[in-house]
């Protein structure tokens, strides 16, 4: 027979977050999983209103009180909770009133990770479809371009007037330009040549390139985790992918006429444990973040920035981020972006399963 006071031990053994509130909606008990999820201490917050721990975007206190008054349970999906540290989480939660105890038991399931995995799966699938379409379209474009160029060369040999030959040179030059653009759309021709690669060496090389191109106009800040092992990847392709992102950040900063703070690019590396990319789960993943304090990316472009020909710059081609995403995808990784005015962060996730197996 279970002793009455041992219910707290039982709750603490659960992996689901559980919160117990009294009739005044003050915190009576929160299990270990709840403390980790909400980032609070049960001992310190006991007796405090639950609204001091979380704030629901569309309000919840009234619903809690009605549930207790009517002795009626309810479940809410995809609720947005703002925590005391100002971060936001998305949760499903069930409210179960107990009139005998005059208390409310709330079971909480965080779904941010599930939503992220679903979003990444959709992103990877959509981008793969887009790449296949672009490859097919690019090959269809290159074939007539070769014919146009050849015809222009033959025509140039038959013409005597220099001004007419100049026209054929323009045709040849424009077809070459289109061919180069198509080649860039097709992405790298070389397969991934994997070898042990230190991500910090990659970032240091990129930092030196950015500093050389921007001079002293942009400050580079580094925040590295020295414990990160080598990744099994193609160093040249990783440099190209991350350099495309860093160059975009540099150009956004240099072109921002409203920049008030010192222009800054921030390189950060961290290890993430038990992380899912698409449908694959990895014990270890390295996250490389490239952050700038520029004007941000317009929200209407944010969801499409990794697709070809999407750009917010008048002189941009819209290929840099698409190529970067493709190169990271070839390494089994993924790039995500969060942006607002004053902070744009590109997060590059690369699996470390090979490095993990060697340790």
Q: What pLDDT score was predicted for residue 359?
A: 36
Asked which of 101-115, 248-262, 309-323 is least confident by mean pLDDT, the reply is 309-323
Local confidence band at 101 (pLDDT 50, 70, 90 cut-offs):
confident
Q: What pLDDT score was predicted for residue 117?
A: 66
Q: What pLDDT score was predicted for residue 265?
A: 94
Check pLDDT > 80 for residue 28.
yes
Q: pLDDT for 259-314, tens place per residue?
A: 778 899 999 999 988 787 877 788 899 999 999 998 888 888 877 777 766 665 55
Q: What does the alpha-carbon distance between residue 287 and residue 272 come to, in Å, rounded to a whole number?
A: 7
User: What is the chain's mean pLDDT, rounded?
Assistant: 81
Mean pLDDT of 168-182: 80
Q: What pLDDT score was predicted for residue 2?
A: 40
Asked which of 107-111, 121-125, 245-249, 315-319 is least confident by mean pLDDT, the reply is 315-319
Q: What pLDDT score was predicted for residue 64?
A: 81
Q: CA Rg, the chain, in Å?
A: 28
Mean pLDDT of 248-269: 88
Q: Compute the Cα dihedral for 191, 193, 198, 200 and give only its sign.
A: negative
pTM above 0.75, yes or no: no
Estimate the share of the chain in helix, then strand, then coil, as percent rounded to the nearest 5. Answer: 45, 25, 25
Check pLDDT > 80 for residue 114.
no
Q: Tell me the three-class secondary structure of 289-358, residue by residue.
A: EEEECCCCCCHHHHCCCCCCCCCCCCCCCCCHHHHHHHHHHHCCCEEEEEEECCEEEEEEEEECHHHHHH
Q: What pLDDT score was predicted for residue 355?
A: 43
Q: What pLDDT score was predicted for residue 318?
A: 63
Local confidence band at 17 (pLDDT 50, 70, 90 cut-offs):
confident
Q: What pLDDT score was predicted for residue 4?
A: 47
Q: pLDDT for 338-354, tens place per residue?
A: 888 888 999 999 998 65
Local confidence band at 188 (pLDDT 50, 70, 90 cut-offs):
low
Q: What pLDDT score was predicted for residue 342?
A: 87
Q: What pLDDT score was predicted for residue 176?
A: 82
């Amino acid at each position: 027979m279970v002793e009455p006071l041992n219910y707290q031990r039982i709750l603490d053994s659960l992996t689901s977050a559980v919160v117990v509130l009294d009739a005044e909606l003050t915190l009576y008990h929160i299990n270990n999983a709840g403390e980790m999820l909400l980032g609070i201490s049960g001992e310190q917050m006991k007796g405090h209103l639950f609204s001091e721990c979380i704030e629901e975007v569309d309000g919840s206190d009234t619903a809690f009180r009605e549930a207790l008054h009517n002795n009626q349970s309810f479940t809410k999906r995809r609720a947005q909770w703002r925590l005391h540290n100002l971060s936001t989480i998305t949760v499903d939660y069930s409210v179960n009133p107990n009139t005998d105890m005059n208390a409310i038991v709330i079971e909480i399931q965080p779904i941010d990770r599930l939503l992220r995995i679903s979003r990444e799966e959709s992103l990877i699938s959509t981008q793969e479809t887009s790449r296949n379409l672009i490859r097919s379209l690019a090959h269809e474009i290159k074939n007539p371009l070769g014919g146009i160029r050849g015809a222009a060369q033959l025509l140039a040999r038959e013409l005597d007037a220099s001004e007419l030959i100049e026209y054929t040179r323009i045709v040849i030059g424009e077809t070459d330009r289109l061919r180069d653009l198509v080649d860039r759309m097709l992405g790298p021709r070389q397969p991934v040549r994997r070898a042990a690669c230190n991500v910090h060496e990659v970032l240091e090389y990129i930092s030196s390139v950015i500093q050389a191109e921007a001079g002293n106009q942009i400050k580079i800040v580094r925040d590295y985790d020295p414990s990160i092992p080598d990744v099994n990847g193609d160093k040249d392709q990783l440099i190209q992918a991350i350099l495309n992102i860093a160059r975009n950040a540099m150009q956004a900063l240099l072109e921002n006429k409203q920049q008030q703070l010192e222009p800054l690019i921030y390189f950060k590396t961290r290890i993430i444990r038990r992380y899912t990319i698409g449908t694959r789960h990895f014990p270890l993943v390295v996250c490389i973040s490239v952050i700038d304090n520029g004007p941000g990316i317009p929200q209407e472009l944010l969801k499409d920035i990794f697709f070809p020909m999407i750009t917010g710059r008048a002189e941009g081609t819209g290929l840099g981020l698409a190529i970067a995403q493709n190169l990271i995808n070839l390494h089994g990784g993924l790039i995500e972006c969060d942006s607002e005015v004053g902070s744009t962060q590109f997060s590059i996730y690369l699996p470390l399963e090979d490095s993990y197996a060697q340790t």
